[in-house]
Amino acid sequence: MSGGRAAALLLVGVLIGGISGGATATYLTRRADESTGQPATSAGIPIASAPPAASGGVDGEIVGAVQDLLPSVVTIINYAANGQPQSSGSGFVVDAGNGYVVTNNHVVEDTRTNGTGASFDVVFSDNKKVSAKLVGRDPFTDIAVMQVAAQGLKAATLANSDNVPVGALTVAIGSPLGEFQNTVTHGIVSAKGRRVAETSQVILEDLIQTDAPINPGNSGGPLLWAATHQVIGVNTLGVTQATGINFAVSSNTVKQIADEIIANGKVVRGYMGIQYSPLTPRQAAQLGLPTGTIGIIVSQVVAGSPAEQAGIQPNDIITKVNDQVVDADHPLSSLLIKNRPGDKVKLTLIRAGKEMTVDVTLGQPPQ
């Protein structure tokens, strides 16, 4: 499948795992599909203030976590406009009272377009199937929120992912290939704060790396901290060229994005109002810039935009955003992903061969 999603594809009644394209760092090759930490007392989806005491023994931790969390985990079936299932993935209940379910954005996408599936079903661990509606989605963090009827649900608890130590025992639950429902795998937290390019424009930030096996169809399912029975991430990416390198969107990012989606139906990010292209080495040489200068060159400034109000001009070369270099690994869209309307960002730019800094107060994106 184009772009390769790790929501499992359903073809002629058989569920087949999708594969994602690219090379790590460069780009990842399979989607099995941490950022801003949220305080434990923030509003919205509950987040644990402190982990409960762990039960004794590794087996006890894993079994206890599975028994506790399995009723919260679901399989999501994505239907095309013709009513045929086109893909499937996993998810989990985060708010039992309101029926909110978290999953990956790519689980709810239409496999042929940039839109979403026409309709969705959710299947619980007891095989109960219910219809679900899409509340909203955020491609830049690969998070989506769905809603089902709030009847007899059990919610998983989101951990504060800042608290989970490297080496902690992890458990992943989901439906690999869309066929093997309620599959449990385990591993450890291999690393935190990973940054992975999902596409040329989407770079997922502050991911949790785990060696718990994550396969196509596990997308959107929970990564659990076995000792605490809490969700530390949403399984989202796996590397096909290597064994045991998988990634989950951290629970702190999940909370932030899911709360915004529930409140607004979408995530609204700060708007600058420029069109641009990467600065090529040839352009840099023609402009007499030092060898190795990298950044983006502004081709157009939208009238009345925050960029125009800040004095940004066509042919300005933006080299840094808040002191972070703008390059292929740090595109502008990724550097602004945490910013909201009203936030101020500092741009370092070159104009007529001279370096300067400009502050831009981001605005609301045009409707």
Which residues are paired to 143 by β-bridges?
138
Residue 3 falls within a domain, yes or no? no
Q: Are residues 251 and 310 in the same domain?
A: no
Q: Are residues 332 and 232 in the same domain?
A: no
Cα–Cα distance measured from residue 204 to residue 198, given in angstroms and rounded to the nearest whole number: 7
| DSSP notation for 153-168 | --PPPBP-GGGPPTT-
User: Residue type for 359, please?
Assistant: D
Q: Is the dihedral of CA 104, 109, 115, 117 positive or negative?
A: negative
Contacts of 46 (CB under 8 A, 6+ apart): 157, 158
Cα–Cα distance measured from residue 303 to residue 314, given in angstroms and rounded to the nearest whole number: 12
Q: Are residues 150 and 213 in the same domain?
A: yes
Please pick, among 219, 250, 305, 334, the residue that the annotation labels catalytic: 219
User: Residue type for 113, please?
Assistant: T
Residue 367 falls within a domain, yes or no? no
- The answer to whether the beta carbons of residues 43 and 32 sit under 8 Å apart is no
- The answer to whether the beta carbons of residues 83 and 129 sit under 8 Å apart is no
Predicted confidence pLDDT, tens digits, the chain (367 residues):
333 344 554 432 332 233 232 233 333 434 443 333 344 445 688 777 766 655 557 777 888 888 999 999 999 999 999 999 998 999 999 999 999 999 999 999 998 888 999 999 999 999 999 999 999 999 999 999 999 998 899 999 999 999 999 999 999 999 887 778 888 999 999 999 998 877 766 788 889 999 998 888 888 999 999 999 999 999 998 776 677 899 999 999 999 999 999 999 999 999 999 999 999 999 999 989 998 899 999 999 999 999 999 999 999 999 999 999 999 888 888 889 889 999 999 999 999 999 999 999 999 988 7
Q: Are residues 252 and 354 in the same domain?
A: no
Please pick, among 106, 175, 206, 259, the residue that the annotation labels catalytic: 106
CATH number at residue 319: 2.30.42.10
pTM of the model: 0.80
Q: Are residues 302 and 243 in the same domain?
A: no
Residue 97 falls within a domain, yes or no? yes
Q: Where is the domain boundary, 264, 286, 321?
A: 264
Place of tokens 């992975």: 196
Q: Are residues 201 and 319 in the same domain?
A: no
Contacts of 247 (CB under 8 A, 6+ apart): 28, 194, 196, 204, 207, 208, 209, 210, 235, 236, 237, 238
Distance of alpha carbon 326 from the chain centroid? 21
User: Residue type for 152, please?
Assistant: G
Q: Residue 142: what are its φ and ψ, rounded to 5°?
A: 60, 40
Q: Are residues 24 and 128 in the same domain?
A: yes
Residue 2 falls within a domain, yes or no? no
Q: What DSSP character marks residue 268?
A: P
253's enclosing H/E stretch is helix 251-264
Which two tokens mark 131?
């219809």
Q: Where is the domain boundary, 211, 237, 264?
A: 264
Q: Where is the domain boundary, 210, 234, 264?
A: 264
Asked about 142 being catalytic, the answer comes back as yes
SS3 state at 344: strand
- The answer to whether the beta carbons of residues 284 and 233 sit under 8 Å apart is no
pLDDT of residue 25: 33
Which two tokens mark 184?
């449990």
Asked about 316 being catalytic, the answer comes back as no
Cα–Cα distance measured from residue 36 to residue 340, given in angstroms and rounded to the nearest whole number: 13
Q: Are residues 53 and 116 in the same domain?
A: yes
Asked about 106 being catalytic, the answer comes back as yes
SS3 state at 71: helix
Residue 269 falls within a domain, yes or no? no
Q: Are residues 50 and 172 in the same domain?
A: yes
Cα–Cα distance measured from residue 162 to residue 206, given in angstroms and rounded to the nearest whole number: 10
pLDDT of residue 56: 59
Q: Are residues 142 and 71 in the same domain?
A: yes
Residue 53 falls within a domain, yes or no? yes
Cα–Cα distance measured from residue 26 to residue 196, given in angstroms and rounded to the nearest whole number: 8
Residue 76 falls within a domain, yes or no? yes
- The answer to whether the beta carbons of residues 223 and 248 sit under 8 Å apart is yes
Contacts of 354 (CB under 8 A, 6+ apart): none
Q: Are residues 166 and 190 in the same domain?
A: yes
Cα–Cα distance measured from residue 289 to residue 63, given in angstroms and rounded to the nearest whole number: 61
CATH number at residue 16: 2.40.10.120
pLDDT of residue 10: 47
Residue 366 falls within a domain, yes or no? no
**Residue-number span of the structural domain to which 304 is assigned:** 274-361
Report the domain count for the chain.
Answer: 2
Q: Are residues 57 and 201 in the same domain?
A: yes
Please pick, among 142, 206, 259, 316, the residue that the annotation labels catalytic: 142
- The answer to whether the beta carbons of residues 302 and 273 sit under 8 Å apart is yes
